[in-house]
């Protein structure tokens, strides 16, 4: 079964969702094209993602990975991710509805790669330590996607300067780090882009 879901597939699958959810998908195509080349580091890896939201990266990750487990605390997003999973090879994909702290304490074995999309913005210091010592130290590949919008907020004071801090955080976990930027630009009168991908290898 193919793991490729096109932008049009996403629009069809999300038809009828509430406006805030639909907004999340408006720039999906650009985000996925920017992210796709960096996911080759997941070749034949068992990937854990914490905070998978509606699962927009699953199809791309599974073009390379051996298996995927996504953790999503929000029940509504979890339902959407399960819908997308049903269009893929579900035997190699898990999507679990549980809290971040519970996931960091429970799902720590059997993974050798980690993907996160803005997750570092939302974690407390205690959760960041769990992520570092229970998961990242055991992984040899990591990809972190962040957005310019979150860089300007104060979800966690340790990550006000998000891109530099993401690099430092991964380096502290033993990774050799490379970062890539998709600059913010105007598309049809509104801003798009403003994404950062940080790739870590050991």
> Per-residue pLDDT tens for 91-134?
899 999 998 888 888 877 889 999 998 787 778 888 888 999 99
Task: Confirm whether 138 is domain-assigned.
Answer: yes
Q: For residues 182 and 163, is the Cβ–Cβ distance under 8 A?
A: no
Q: What's the confidence (pLDDT) of residue 7?
A: 57
Q: What's the confidence (pLDDT) of residue 42?
A: 97
Q: What's the confidence (pLDDT) of residue 14?
A: 57
In sequence order, what E strands does the chain have? 46-50, 67-71, 93-96, 113-117, 141-147, 176-182, 185-187, 190-192, 195-201
> Residue 184 pLDDT > 70, yes or no?
no
Q: What's the confidence (pLDDT) of residue 176?
A: 96
Cα Rg, the chain, nearest whole Å: 16
Q: What's the confidence (pLDDT) of residue 19?
A: 44
Write out 98-131 in H/E/C secondary structure.
CCHHHHHHHCCCCCCEEEEECHHHCCCHHHHHHH
Task: Confirm whether 144 is domain-assigned.
Answer: yes
Q: What's the confidence (pLDDT) of residue 113?
A: 98
Q: How confident is the model at residue 194 (pLDDT cuts 50, 70, 90)?
A: confident
Task: Confirm whether 143 is domain-assigned.
Answer: yes
- What whole-number distance in Å separates Cα of residue 9 and Cα of residue 12? 5
Task: Confirm whether 75 is domain-assigned.
Answer: yes
- What whole-number distance in Å separates Cα of residue 5 and Cα of residue 18? 21
Q: What's the confidence (pLDDT) of residue 22?
A: 47
Overall domain count for the chain: 1
Residue of higher predicted confidence among 63 and 86? 63
Is residue 29 helix, strand or coil? helix
Cβ neighbour number for residue 150 with a 10 Å cutoff: 18
Distances from the Cα of 77 to the Cα of 18, 59, 98, 174, angstroms: 12, 16, 12, 32
Task: Confirm whether 71 is domain-assigned.
Answer: yes
Q: For residues 56 and 10, is the Cβ–Cβ distance under 8 A?
A: yes
Task: Report the alpha-carbon angle 40-42-45, nearest 5.
Answer: 150
> Residue 158 pLDDT > 80, yes or no?
no
pTM attached to this predicted model: 0.83
Q: What's the confidence (pLDDT) of residue 87?
A: 74
Q: What's the confidence (pLDDT) of residue 125?
A: 80
> Residue 183 pLDDT > 60, yes or no?
yes
> Per-residue pLDDT tens for 136-157?
999 999 999 887 655 444 444 4
Task: Confirm whether 1 is domain-assigned.
Answer: no
Task: Confirm whether 2 is domain-assigned.
Answer: no
Boundaries of domain holding 34: 7-201
Q: How confident is the model at residue 57 (pLDDT cuts 50, 70, 90)?
A: confident
> Per-residue pLDDT tens for 9-51?
666 655 555 444 445 555 666 777 888 899 999 999 999 999 9
- What whole-number distance in Å separates Cα of residue 139 and Cα of residue 135? 6
Q: For residues 88 and 67, is the Cβ–Cβ distance under 8 A?
A: no
Q: What is the CATH number of the domain that holds 167?
A: 3.40.50.150
């Amino acid at each position: 079964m193919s793991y490729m879901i096109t932008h049009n597939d996403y629009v069809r699958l999300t038809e009828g969702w509430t406006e805030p959810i639909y907004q999340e998908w408006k720039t999906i195509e650009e985000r996925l094209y920017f992210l796709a080349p960096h996911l080759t580091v997941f070749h034949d890896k068992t990937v854990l993602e914490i905070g998978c939201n509606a699962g927009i990266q699953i199809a791309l990750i599974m073009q390379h990975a051996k298996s995927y487990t996504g953790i999503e605390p929000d029940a509504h997003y979890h339902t959407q991710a399960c819908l997308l999973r049903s269009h893929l090879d579900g035997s190699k994909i898990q999507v679990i509805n549980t809290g971040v702290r519970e996931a960091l304490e429970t799902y720590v074995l059997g993974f050798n790669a980690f993907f996160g999309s803005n997750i570092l913005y939302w974690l407390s210091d205690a959760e960041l330590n769990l992520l570092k010592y229970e998961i990242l130290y055991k992984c040899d590949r990591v990809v972190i996607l962040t957005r310019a919008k979150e860089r300007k907020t104060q979800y966690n004071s340790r990550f006000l300067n998000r891109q530099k801090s993401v690099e430092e955080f991964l380096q502290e976990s033993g990774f050799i780090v490379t970062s890539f930027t998709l600059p913010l630009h105007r598309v049809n009168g509104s801003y798009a882009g403003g994404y950062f991908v940080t790739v870590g290898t050991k």
